[in-house]
Structure 1
Amino acid sequence: MAEKREEENKDDGKDSHFPVMTKEVLEVLNVHPGQWYVDATLGQGGHARAILEAGGSVIAIDRDPKAIEKARLELLPIFGERLRLTCMNHAGMGEFLPSMRVDISGVVLDSGWSMAQASENGAGLSFDAEGPLDMRMDPTLERTAMDILEQQSAEELAAIFSNFGEEPLALPISRALVQSRSRGRLPRTPKELAAFVSGVYYRKGYRRSRRHPATRVFMALRIEVNGEIDSLVRGVSGVRSILGSGARLAVLTFHSREDREIKHLFREWVREGWGRLLQSKPVLPGKAEIEHNPRSRSAKLRVYIAN
């Protein structure tokens, strides 16, 4: 399928610091000076900065403390009281945001994970990393990627790789991992895991493509470790009740499973009379952005407007 997340693909040779569809996000949020907006996945701060530069005020949320510290150093000195930073999982923002005591005009949630953030996070998300197979965006989470590889059966691993990574060799890779585990040779660093998956592809006769063979496996493990699908649905569901009339909720996804969840959720809200869609189909990146930033090509932006 064409709907694949590209964050882990290092071979594009482009700067992955660029936030995706910034112009479109500002347009669909209908940003106005003096109004408050939520960037529910701060990351490198691109969308938050764009909203602030357009005159809006921002409550920025991220579960990665390094992302919050980066914004504290780079954005807070510039925008001052118009920026509020909170380190938390966006899954709980529906309960948290009322404590801010401001009217929310819009929320943007970008499910992407850039290579820049992966590198700075240091949690084993890069193919070349020599450290432990961690992959936790929130360091307080108990289970790491290594724990999953050590504890799950071949069938359970295959389900993770297939459901969250749409990996075509999910079962062969999983069986090979469990075999290696039984011999005490399980990959223990991101670099070793990337080489291991590449080896399975080579043995199966797959040709080398621009995307690294381990891309889908890394993505699937990261989604499983961080509970990203559940957090996405909980966060989006929780924020609906705090949106006043005309407030907008924009969700940017890079993975077909995520997009399906948001599409079905928004349609259910519309059927129940809670609001409307900005448009029936998702907003897609333009050709110029895709050429400039290849990781944007799988992006889909869906927008809900509250009654």
Structure 2
Amino acid sequence: MAMLWKVSSSLFLSLSLKPKLIYRTNAFLLSRSTATTSKHKTQNAKAGLAKEKRRTRSDKHFNPDAIIHHCNLNHSDTDTNFSHIPVMLGEVMDVFSAASLTSFVDCTLGAAGHSTAVIKGHPEMKFFVGMDVDSVAHDIAQPRLDAVLSGDVKAFTVLRNFRDVKSVLREFSDSHMGVDGILMDLGMSSMQVDNPARGFSVLSDGPLDMRMDPQASLKAEDILNSWPDSEVGRILREYGEESNWRTLQKKIVNTRLHGGFHSTSDLLDLIKRVTPPMKGGRQGWIKTATRVFQALRIAVNDELKTLEDSLYSCFDCLAPKGRLAVISFHSLEDRIVKQTFLNIVKGSEEEEERENLNSDLRKTSDEIKEKEAWIKQVIHGSNGTILTKRPITPSGEEEKLNRRSRSAKLRVIQKH
């Protein structure tokens, strides 16, 4: 009996301790999990704060009704997401409002939202050029421009890429002087995205086209079906910044052996099969598809090299004190704009000569900032002044009402 009691009591002691042990273990794991979650939240908060510090959020009031009026739009022209309203219009108006604007070039005319507002805001304007490679955009823009242009303005709309800005100005300008203002809005227009026949949208079935210029020869279908394997992988990696590019490259090459790609649905079916399942369902493959479509679009239109070359050309076309404003929508574009602006203002003068200019440049910069509240920090060089050390991003109000504005960044440079 004594032995039996000992066994029973030790068993009882063991059983009585296990709940406490389990409780303490669970409490420890819960504490550890809470600490990890808290750590991740802190890291995310720090990352968000760092991102905010790298930009200057606009404090401009976003008034859709006023913008519709300025751009000669009808309420029927806009949907609930304001997709036809030009992005950061108030900020663009500020950029060109400080001085007389007698000549203006819109390198990306689109539906003429920015241009009509700038023209209405500058009755002193004498010369205007609107450039776009999309004939559909010209058809929409022309009547809107006609409604705001006076007979005193020499105005031209040109079906050309902005890489040709120098030759276009030589052709249409009577003067050898530069222009006062140039705008480049690099975003996709809703006219292009919403038309399935253009092949830009991941949500609509259409041909694998993606040409900005409908007259161009290269299409996305050509890249997917005939470009070398390594080139397909390169554009997915460099232009799409897609981490899963190797797997996608292999699957794309394999699909060529079984009929290839002939529609956006063909490509999306492959992306859905390749993209690892994740919480949120379709959100995972949509993000991958967006990156892949971006990569193909950039390659089809040679966007990045064209942008870099065009920035130098546009700056050369400016008159003294003239300004170039660029709105970009993804990191690859913004990186090129930032670095090219830095290269432009740096110039080729010797360091000693630059030092002699510094006091005058700082004085000029201070005067600019005093007159224009939107200018926060500048970078001055021997050739020009970057008026946006950090890019300006849309106000929180505009981001809420106009989803397509969320990734927009505005950078501005002024010529000496």
* Corresponding residue for residue 16 of structure 2: none
1:59 aligns with 2:129: yes
| Conservation of the 8 A alpha-carbon contact between 1:115 and 1:126 | no
Q: 1:39 to 1:25 in 2, by over 3 A?
A: same
* Corresponding residue for residue 160 of structure 2: 88
Q: 1:211 to 1:250 in 2, by over 3 A?
A: farther
Residue 246 (structure 1) shift: 0.6
So what's the TM-score if we normalise by structure 1?
0.88
Alpha-carbon separation, structure 2, partners of 1:210 and 1:270? 41
What letter matches 1:114 in structure 2?
S
Secondary structure (helix, strand or coil) at the match of 1:165 reads: coil
- Which stretch shifts more, 70-79 or 165-174? 70-79
Alpha-carbon separation, structure 1, partners of 2:313 and 2:319? 14
Query: Which residues of structure 2 form unaligned runs of 5+?
Result: 1-46, 52-79, 348-381
1:20 aligns with 2:95: no
Alpha-carbon separation, structure 1, partners of 2:221 and 2:316? 38
Alpha-carbon separation, structure 1, partners of 2:110 and 2:192? 7
Residue 187 (structure 1) shift: 3.0
What letter matches 2:140 in structure 1?
K
| Conservation of the 8 A alpha-carbon contact between 2:102 and 2:180 | yes
Aligned pair partner of 2:306 in 216, 228, 231:
231
What letter matches 1:63 in structure 2?
V
Residue 132 (structure 1) shift: 2.1
1:41 aligns with 2:108: yes
Secondary structure (helix, strand or coil) at the match of 1:251 reads: strand
Alpha-carbon separation, structure 1, partners of 2:271 and 2:186? 25
Alpha-carbon separation, structure 1, partners of 2:143 and 2:197? 19
| Conservation of the 8 A alpha-carbon contact between 1:39 and 1:61 | yes
| Conservation of the 8 A alpha-carbon contact between 2:193 and 2:200 | yes
Alpha-carbon separation, structure 2, partners of 1:286 and 1:211? 29
| Conservation of the 8 A alpha-carbon contact between 2:196 and 2:206 | no
What letter matches 1:76 in structure 2?
D
1:112 aligns with 2:187: yes
Alpha-carbon separation, structure 2, partners of 1:235 and 1:159? 24
- Which stretch shifts more, 206-215 or 161-170? 206-215
Secondary structure (helix, strand or coil) at the match of 1:44 reads: coil
Query: Which residues of structure 1 form unaligned runs of 5+?
Result: 4-12
Secondary structure (helix, strand or coil) at the match of 2:198 reads: coil
What letter matches 2:166 in structure 1?
G
Residue 175 (structure 1) shift: 1.3
1:189 aligns with 2:298: no
Query: Any residues of structure 2 matched to 1:151-166 within 5 Å, and which?
Result: 151-166=226-241
How many equivalent pairs are there? 296
Residue 191 (structure 1) shift: 2.7
Query: Any residues of structure 2 matched to 1:263-282 within 5 Å, and which?
Result: 263-272=338-347, 273-282=382-391
1:295 aligns with 2:404: yes
| Conservation of the 8 A alpha-carbon contact between 2:219 and 2:300 | yes
* Corresponding residue for residue 10 of structure 1: none
Choose between structure 1 and 2: higher helix proportion: 2
* Corresponding residue for residue 8 of structure 1: none
* Corresponding residue for residue 7 of structure 1: none
Alpha-carbon separation, structure 2, partners of 1:52 and 1:76? 11
What letter matches 1:75 in structure 2?
L
Tell me the alpha carbon deviations over residues 99-145 of structure 1, each in whole angstroms, 9 at most, x when there is no partner: 33265111010110033333348321123444421111112211110
* Corresponding residue for residue 140 of structure 2: 70
Residue 36 (structure 1) shift: 1.7
Query: Any residues of structure 2 matched to 1:105-184 within 5 Å, and which?
Result: 105-120=180-195, 122-184=197-259
Residue 25 (structure 1) shift: 0.9
| Conservation of the 8 A alpha-carbon contact between 2:196 and 2:204 | no
Let me know the Cα RMSD of the aligned residues: 2.5
Residue 240 (structure 1) shift: 1.6
- Larger relative CO (CA 8 A, sep 6+): 1 or 2? 1
* Corresponding residue for residue 43 of structure 2: none
Alpha-carbon separation, structure 2, partners of 1:267 and 1:244? 19
Secondary structure (helix, strand or coil) at the match of 2:326 reads: strand
Alpha-carbon separation, structure 1, partners of 2:278 and 2:229? 21
What letter matches 1:195 in structure 2?
D
Alpha-carbon separation, structure 2, partners of 1:128 and 1:278? 38
Q: 1:199 to 1:121 in 2, by over 3 A?
A: closer
So what's the TM-score if we normalise by structure 2?
0.66
Aligned pair partner of 1:259 in 305, 328, 334:
334
Tell me the alpha carbon deviations over residues 50-104 of structure 1, each in whole angstroms, 9 at most, x when there is no partner: 2122135431110111111211233324425544211100011022213332651
| Conservation of the 8 A alpha-carbon contact between 1:154 and 1:171 | no
Alpha-carbon separation, structure 2, partners of 1:295 and 1:104? 30
* Corresponding residue for residue 306 of structure 1: 415
Residue 159 (structure 1) shift: 1.3
Q: 1:20 to 1:210 in 2, by over 3 A?
A: farther
Secondary structure (helix, strand or coil) at the match of 1:234 reads: helix
Q: 1:31 to 1:148 in 2, by over 3 A?
A: farther
What letter matches 1:36 in structure 2?
S
* Corresponding residue for residue 12 of structure 2: none
Residue 282 (structure 1) shift: 1.2
Secondary structure (helix, strand or coil) at the match of 1:239 reads: helix
Tell me the alpha carbon deviations over residues 150-197 of structure 1, each in whole angstroms, 9 at most, x when there is no partner: 11233321211221121222221221111111122x331113322321
